[in-house]
Structure 1
Amino acid sequence: MEFAEASGQEGSVMRLGYGGDVSNVAIAAARQGLSAGMIGAVGDDAFGGKLQALWDREGVDRRHVLRPGGSRTGLYFITYEAAGHVFSYARDGSAASRYTPADLPTADIAAARLFHASAISQGIGLGPCDATFEAIHLAREKGVSISYDTNLRLKLWPLDRARAIIHATAALADILRPGLDDARLLTGRQTPDAIADFYLGLGPRIVVLTLGSEGCLVATPARREVIPCLPVAFVDASGAGDTFTGAFLAEYARTGDEFASARYANVAAALKTRGIGAIEPIPRRAEVEAVLSGEPA
């Protein structure tokens, strides 16, 4: 669950919201028409119940989200500074941090078309990290396409360990989704092209590097293209990258065209930034397609 800083009558307050990058991705994908499900664990508390209700409303399959008795849901807090969002975490001992490979729904992973994972899931504990690797290896053995977001949170783990785990996982991915700032820290490269070269060298077929207000760079061994961002009346960037990822995966599953999928995802992410919060402003397919067909954003 997410607590985000907001303005109140007596100064700053913390506004309760739904968060978690893989949950945001699943909801964004579902709103574009993709059948999506979650794997993980939530707490046996009010927050866990709220997340279950959210996934039910959004049509995200939660059969494989555990809710161990007596456990608690992980929380994080967002404050805003001149440089952007600042994240603080209260995830030690949470239900998700205790997830292990033994908890994986192996049959459903093997039957999926796409499996998406995030470095944040790996950073919250050794068990979830091992489970992520186990799930990816199983999916690869069954021919399932792997999508991986290198989402770096240095408050979860030190840079050297994060770099080693993230790059070992990136080498197993078909679709890699780094962001520019994280990629500079992880790779030591500074330019988008150099970062794309580095990550393609690890083995992914497709690298989709988000560039913030500059859009994204889509790179394959044969082609690369910078796709500009859609100008909109910006309000809040929370969850924009996750919206991009979910929309990209939904469109890629539909078309198999990574460049068209990135154009679609750019529009979806831009539309999301017009509203406050990570979930509520995520657009549905009809809204995205209307803008792509020429309607104003």
Structure 2
Amino acid sequence: MQSPRHVTVLGECVADAFADSKSEFPLTGAGLSPDGRNLSLRVLPGGGPANTAVGLARLGTPTRFLARLSGDVFGRLFRAHLLESGVDLSDAAEAAEPSTLAVADVDSEGQASYSFHAEGTADWQWTREELARADLLTSSCVHSGSLALVREPGGPLVEELLTEARPHSTVSVDPNIRTALVDPAVYRERLPRWCAVADILRLSEDDLDVIAPDSTVEAACDGFHTEGARLVVVTRGAHGAIASLDGQRVTVPGVPTGVVDTVGAGDAFTAGLLHHLGTRGLLGGRLDSLEAADVVEACAYAVRVAALTCAVAGPNPPWADQLGQGCGSAYTAAGQ
């Protein structure tokens, strides 16, 4: 095992607000006061790319986060959380705009749906000058995704940065589709461009249902390969993940866990995947040395990271010492 090289993550921070059943006044559940006139919210630092950066740093990968951090109360929360997790913020931009807020509604199975307050917020206002300050030559991998790739005016600039990073870094993309804010047609139109620049594409089953509702997982993966992505990973919640390396498929089972909620689980999976690949010296190019057995090990490790995230409230990925030794390797292979 090697010491992982530097990874750069680019994207948003989001203040995730949850109904708080432990507020100072008696509640009937779901954060409501007995008379139904008050709602108590608990705010946690989140956002897909920020969660991935935190996950990587906590696992031991040197991680730089390119973000536009507001000076408001949420921005100060983000900054403290990221720094305490070991994330390098030296290239983060100080933003005058307010932070993005997402209000989560978590159901009885721990699944969250969101309403977003994101118009005119800091995360999407990237300028070419801000992004040019970051030196990506030392990064073995550049990861982005979620709303940063689709929200204007910054989205096209983020795509440009990924293209510029590709000659010297592995590129990873996680669409993390949010139909509450962005028309699914936007994702369908842009995904071929992302696949053309991405070496790694990670999606959830829900993402796939939006992008390719009439396609099987296998057919969708083959389409993404045709468009350029070498490694496609589809996460399946409690059922683990299906990965496809140039059409060679492997299936990794889920890890049983007591679920508090699933917030940030996909982001934690991505962090685990990239961390494991980095420790094996497999990041830094076009994944030329990557084999199916490597994919199995990396996905098995990532599934464990995601499971530990589901066992606690909110987007709170584990630290390296919580993973213990070994990561398992049970899998089935198809499409040889």
TM-score, normalised with respect to structure 2: 0.81
Q: Are residues 1:173 and 2:198 paired? A: yes
Give the distance between the partners of 1:293 and 1:187, measured in 2 at CA.
31
Bigger radius of gyration: 2
Q: Are residues 1:249 and 2:263 paired? A: no
Give the distance between the partners of 2:241 and 2:212, measured in 1 at CA.
18
1:32–1:285 Cα contact (<8 Å) kept: yes
1:120 matched residue in structure 2: 147
Q: Are residues 1:4 and 2:41 paired? A: no
Give the distance between the partners of 1:234 and 1:32, measured in 2 at CA.
21
1:272 matched residue in structure 2: 309
**Structure 1 residue 191 displacement after superposition:** 2.8
Q: 1:129 aligns with which of 128, 150, 155?
A: 155
**Structure 1 residue 107 displacement after superposition:** 4.7
Question: Which residues in structure 2 correspond to 1:179-190 (within 5 Å)?
Answer: 179-190=204-215
Q: Name the SS of the counterpart of 2:90 in structure 1.
A: strand
Once the two structures are overlaid, the 10-residue window that deviates more, 99-108 or 201-210, is 99-108
TM-score, normalised with respect to structure 1: 0.91
1:43–1:74 Cα contact (<8 Å) kept: no
Give the distance between the partners of 2:128 and 2:157, measured in 1 at CA.
4
Unaligned ranges ≥5, structure 1? none
Deviations 1:181-233 (A, max 9, x none): 11122023443222222222211110111011110011112521110001112
Question: Which residues in structure 2 correspond to 1:23-42 (within 5 Å)?
Answer: 23-42=50-69
Higher-RCO chain (CA-CA 8 Å, sequence separation at least 6): 2
Unaligned ranges ≥5, structure 2? 1-14, 32-39, 283-293, 330-336
Question: Which residues in structure 2 correspond to 1:85-164 (within 5 Å)?
Answer: 85-105=112-132, 107-123=134-150, 125-140=151-166, 142-164=167-189
1:59 matched residue in structure 2: 86
Counterpart residue identity of residue 16, structure 2 = E
Counterpart residue identity of residue 126, structure 1 = E
Question: When the two structures are aligned, how many residues end up with a matched partner?
Answer: 289
Q: Name the SS of the counterpart of 1:127 in structure 2.
A: coil
- Give structure 1 regions of 4+ aligned residues with deviation exceeding 4 angstroms: none
2:4 matched residue in structure 1: none
Could you say if the C-alpha distance between residues 293 and 86 of structure 1 is closer, same or farther in structure 2, counting changes exceeding 3 Å? closer
Give the distance between the partners of 1:293 and 1:80, measured in 2 at CA.
31
Q: Name the SS of the counterpart of 2:243 in structure 1.
A: strand
2:35 matched residue in structure 1: none
Q: 2:327 aligns with which of 271, 292, 297?
A: 292
CA RMSD of aligned residues (A): 1.9
Could you say if the C-alpha distance between residues 82 and 235 of structure 1 is closer, same or farther in structure 2, counting changes exceeding 3 Å? closer
Could you say if the C-alpha distance between residues 157 and 222 of structure 1 is closer, same or farther in structure 2, counting changes exceeding 3 Å? closer
